[in-house]
Amino acid sequence: MRIRPVPQGGARARGSDEIRTTPPGSGRPARPHGFDLSGKEAGKMSKLRVAVLGAKGRIGSEAVRAVEAADDMELVAALGRDDRLETLAETGAQVVVELTTPASVMGNLDFCVRHGIHAVVGTTGWTDDRLAQLTGLLDRSPGTGVLIAPNFSIGAVLTMKFAQIAAPYFESVEVVELHHPNKVDAPSGTATRTAQLIAEARRKAGSAPAPDATVTALDGARGADVDGVPVHAVRLRGLLAHQEVLLGGEGETLTVRHDSLHHSSFMPGILLGTRRVVTTPGLTFGLEHFLDLN
């Protein structure tokens, strides 16, 4: 793999200060990276050509190492702030791992979809309007797939599933998410998605609204209301990414908790999404759709 100066002009990506590209057919040995959800055919076919956007960020740099270490993948570009998006097409990237910012993600995905490049997206800040805009882009590019994952940790995805299963069996349920103080959004995308899944499960089961006699409260004391589920956000130095779902019934409580202790916890999910998105056209929201959880 070689490092070269950033050419002038053209569309640019945000997230780091350098551009790294790998010409077709190159590659290098790399250290193993956690467990591998690659499937049994890894190494028996041509390698998947992968690029990372936001490659100098904490998760982005970890993703670069994970892709380099995957036997069935070849890292062809690691792009950051001010790097040319055209590099994705020039290097023949088949999949882009998008780990930038809410301000830049739509422009990056517009470029990818127009060039038929699949995308695995960890960037947050998704609204109904943005999802509708992205769906419109994908409608004009049949065969291109985009996965948006509120969380790439397999444990976090399972936590959401467990909470969804348990929610109809308890009168009360609330979500508490805890993150490092540099996180820019609150509540987290994971907590919001968890609350949405809980609310959907309770509606389908015909559950009554959770009891709450609160009449007066300071602003924010009862958390954010996400489809009727209270969601509380904690920002604390020393934390990375953590979530609790608290469920309560007559004489008992159940706590479903997940802790990400290192950014490496997100890599198996990123690799799984990268492998699956190439055969899943259209928009997929949530890594759970790529796991056999039913």
How many C-beta atoms surround the C-beta of residue 174 within 10 A? 19
Residue 79's pLDDT is what? 95
Please tell me whether 56 is known to bind a ligand: yes
**Residue 261: pLDDT over 70:** yes
Is 145 annotated in a binding site? The answer is no
- For 154-261, the fitting CATH number among 3.40.190.10, 3.30.360.10, 2.60.40.60, 1.10.760.10 is 3.30.360.10
- The single residue of 179, 242, 258, 263 carrying the catalytic annotation is 179
Please state the domain extents for the chain. 2-148+264-290, 154-261
pLDDT of 293 reads 81
What is the mean predicted confidence (pLDDT) over 233-242?
97
- Across the range 172-177, mean pLDDT stands at 99
**Residue 54 is assigned to a ligand binding site:** yes
Active-site residue identified among 115, 161, 183, 289 = 183
- Residue 162: CB atoms within 10 A of its CB come to 15
What pTM does this model have? Answer: 0.79
Q: Render pLDDT for 4-23 as a digit per residue (tens, 0 to 9).
A: 333 334 454 544 434 444 44
Residue 149 assigned to a binding site: yes
Same fold flag, 2-148+264-290 and 154-261:
no
Determine whether 183 is an active site residue.
Answer: yes
Query: Contact 277/118 with Cβ under 8 angstroms?
Result: yes
**Complete DSSP assignment for the chain:** -EE-PPPSSS-EE-S-S-EEE--TT--------S-----TTTTSSPPEEEEEESTTSHHHHHHHHHHHH-TTEEEEEEE-TTEETHHHHHTT-SEEEE-S-HHHHHHHHHHHHHTT-EEEE------HHHHHHHHHHHHTSTT-EEEE-S---HHHHHHHHHHHHHGGGSSEEEEEEEE-TT--SSS-HHHHHHHHHHHHHHHHHTPPPPP-------TTTT-EEETTEEEEEEE-TT--EEEEEEEEETTEEEEEEEEE-SGGGGHHHHHHHHHHHTT--EEEE-GGGGS---
| Alpha-carbon Rg for the chain in angstroms | 20
91 assigned to a ligand binding site: no
Task: Please compute the mean of the pLDDT values over residues 124-144 and round it to a whole number.
Answer: 93
CATH fold for the domain made of 2-148+264-290: Rossmann fold (3.40.50)
